[in-house]
């Protein structure tokens, strides 16, 4: 399945997020990530929705239905070749500092806190694939807890 990102600008009103998520649920899609933030225009929110879908007409249909909502100013799909997709993960690991240093040159992470000699809290930023690769290389047995932001995307 192809990962798709839909960018929508909406009025910052109560219930808009619920309307959008209900539309996607009715179409039987599973949302991978959903991030919402303020835009640079007061009263307008910026929403990035990612989902898995190979069928181009289905994605087009969702965008057209989103645009029918009075609260939606605009909606469109972001092409992976013409946009940046990024995510942040905060990870609590149980791993010795020397082992962690091996990863530092290959991955973009920041040590937020060293709880004990072997327990570290890191912030990892980048593409979803890069974060997944970092987690795979560290090994599931070393991960105590993880929190991920979800994808946000910006056109080039």
Average pLDDT, the chain: 92
Does residue 30 or residue 65 have the better pLDDT? 65
Cα–Cα distances (Å) from 109 to 33, 57, 86, in that order, read: 21, 38, 14
- Mean pLDDT across 24-47: 89
- Identify the pLDDT of residue 126: 93
How far apart CA 65 and CA 75 sit, in angstroms, is: 9
State the pLDDT confidence band at 76, using cuts at 50, 70 and 90.
very high
Is 71 found in the same domain as 7? yes
- Identify the pLDDT of residue 27: 78
Is 67 found in the same domain as 96? no
Q: Which one of 78, 105, 120 terminates a domain? A: 78
Does residue 60 or residue 108 have the better pLDDT? 60
Q: How many domains does one find in the chain?
A: 2
pLDDT in tens, 127-147: 999 999 999 999 999 999 999
DSSP reduced 3-state for 62: helix
How far apart CA 112 and CA 91 sit, in angstroms, is: 10
The answer to whether the CB of 52 falls within 8 A of the CB of 2 is: yes
Domain that holds residue 123: 83-155
- Mean pLDDT across 46-73: 92
Q: 68 exposed, middle or buried (CB, 10 Å; 0-12, 13-18, 19+)?
A: exposed
- What is the largest distance, in Å, between two alpha-carbon atoms of the chain? 55
Is 59 found in the same domain as 87? no
Is 120 found in the same domain as 73? no
pLDDT in tens, 89-107: 999 999 988 888 888 878 8
Reported in sequence order, the residue ranges of the chain that DSSP labels E, i.e. its strands, are 3-11, 31-38, 44-52, 72-78, 83-94, 109-114, 119-126, 143-148, 152-155
pTM assigned to the model: 0.84
Is 44 found in the same domain as 13? yes
Tokens, residue 17: 């997020």
How far apart CA 105 and CA 28 sit, in angstroms, is: 42
- Identify the pLDDT of residue 74: 96
């Amino acid at each position: 399945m192809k990962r798709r990102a839909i960018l929508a600008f909406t009025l910052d009103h109560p219930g808009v997020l619920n309307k959008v998520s209900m539309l996607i649920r009715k179409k039987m899609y599973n949302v991978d990530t959903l991030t919402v933030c303020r835009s640079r225009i007061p009263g307008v929110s910026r929403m990035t929705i990612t989902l898995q879908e190979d069928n181009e007409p289905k994605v087009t249909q969702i965008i057209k239905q989103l645009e029918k909502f009075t609260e939606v100013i605009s909606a469109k799909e972001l092409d992976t070749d013409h946009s940046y997709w990024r995510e942040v993960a905060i990870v609590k690991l149980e791993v010795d500092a020397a082992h962690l240093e091996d990863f530092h040159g290959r991955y973009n992470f920041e040590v937020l806190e060293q709880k004990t000699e072997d327990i570290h809290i890191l912030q990892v930023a980048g593409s979803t694939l890069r974060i997944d690769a970092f987690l795979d290389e560290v090994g599931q047995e070393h991960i105590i807890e993880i929190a991920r932001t979800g994808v946000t995307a910006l056109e080039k």
